[in-house]
Amino acid sequence: MKPNPETLSSKPNLKPNMNTKTKSPAMKNSFSFIVRMARNSDLDDIMKIENICFGIEAFHRRQFRYALGASRAVFLVAETMGEKTIAGYALGYIRRGVKKSGKSAERTGAKNARLYSIAVSPTFQGMSLGAKLLSAIEAEFAAKKCARVFLEVHENNVAAATLYESRGYRQRGYKKSYYHDGGAAKKYVRSI
Ligand SMILES: CC(C)(COP(=O)(O)OP(=O)(O)OC[C@H]1O[C@@H](n2cnc3c(N)ncnc32)[C@H](O)[C@@H]1OP(=O)(O)O)[C@@H](O)C(=O)NCCC(=O)NCCS
């Protein structure tokens, strides 16, 4: 059976070293990136980034493969100019809004997006690539008429929370024991 991405939670970054900015200004400026739609041939590189960034919390290959064929998915990669090294990815899904009234739930015309995961290879972190991928996926969501973007972040993931907060995301909730390590999720939303 195909995995159902709606049941996946967005993931914590459990690697403590990734919460510290270490890139020198010279290194920061030494790469240019393009962002494009992900393809099947990117899967190996995406999995490498995924496993390094998330360890046991990593999505499975089949979940990414499913996303590549899902019409509601927006799946982007960033690659370096020249060498064409896959340096990061962003994955989100679009869904119709649901308005609940009493026991009934009715689909509304409004569409929302959920950012499932964004990750940058450690080699390329601190070079504004996370921000670039976030802007790019937001632009895709906006082009597909989404009104808001929702996401969750592990309470200890300082780098990701700082990225989202600096880009206009506001915390709107907190889910206790959301992640496998027992950590809580901070829930964020942004209108686009
Ligand atoms: C979170 C992540 C995607 C950020 O990507 P990045 O390319 O390193 O980030 P950028 O260089 O684009 O930084 C953009 C902003 O994020 C924040 N930020 C990034 N790294 C940070 C860090 N280590 N500490 C604090 N803030 C940080 C800053 O606000 C930064 O803006 P600034 O450069 O103007 O100060 C990256 O650290 C990553 O892949 N982490 C592992 C996977 C992960 O945790 N994904 C998120 C799951 S919810």
Q: How confident is the model at residue 18, as a pLDDT? A: 43
Q: How confident is the model at residue 22, as a pLDDT? A: 58
Q: How confident is the model at residue 5, as a pLDDT? A: 46
Collect all residues with Cβ–Cβ distance below 8 Å to 106 and sequence separation of at least 6: 98, 99, 100
> Domain segments of the chain: what residues?
31-151
Task: Report the C-alpha gap between 186 and 175 in whole angstroms.
Answer: 7
Nearest to 157 by CA among 22, 20, 64: 20
Q: How confident is the model at residue 180, as a pLDDT? A: 87
Q: How confident is the model at residue 24, as a pLDDT? A: 64
Residue 131: CA atoms inside 13 Å, Cβ hemisphere, count?
10
Task: Report the C-alpha gap between 76 and 103 in whole angstroms.
Answer: 37
Collect all residues with Cβ–Cβ distance below 8 Å to 147 and sequence separation of at least 6: 97, 110, 111, 112, 191, 192
Phi, psi for residue 72 in degrees, rounded to 5: -85, -5
* Centre of ligand 1 from the C-alpha of residue 108, in Å: 34
Q: Which CATH number fits domain 31-151: 3.40.630.30, 1.10.1060.10, 2.30.42.10, 1.10.3720.10?
A: 3.40.630.30
Q: Whose C-alpha lies nearest to ligand 1, atom 44?
A: 13
pLDDT in tens, the chain (192 residues): 333 444 455 665 544 334 445 566 666 667 899 999 999 999 999 999 999 999 988 999 999 999 999 999 999 999 999 999 999 999 999 998 777 676 676 666 789 999 999 999 999 999 999 999 999 999 999 999 999 999 999 999 999 999 999 999 999 999 999 998 999 999 999 999
DSSP for 23-76 reads --HHHHTS--EEEEE--GGGHHHHHHHHHHHHGGGPPPHHHHHHHHH-TTEEEE
Q: How far is CA 6 from CA 46, 125, 178, in A?
A: 20, 28, 15
Q: How confident is the model at residue 192, as a pLDDT? A: 94
Q: DSSP character for 123?
A: G
* Centre of ligand 1 from the C-alpha of residue 87, in Å: 13
Q: Whose structure tokens read 């390329």?
A: 124
Q: How confident is the model at residue 110, as a pLDDT? A: 83
Q: Whose C-alpha lies nearest to ligand 1, atom 16?
A: 163
Residues with CB under 6 A from ligand 1: 10-11, 13, 18-21, 53, 118-120, 125-131, 153, 157-160, 162-163, 166
Q: Whose C-alpha lies nearest to ligand 1, atom 48?
A: 153
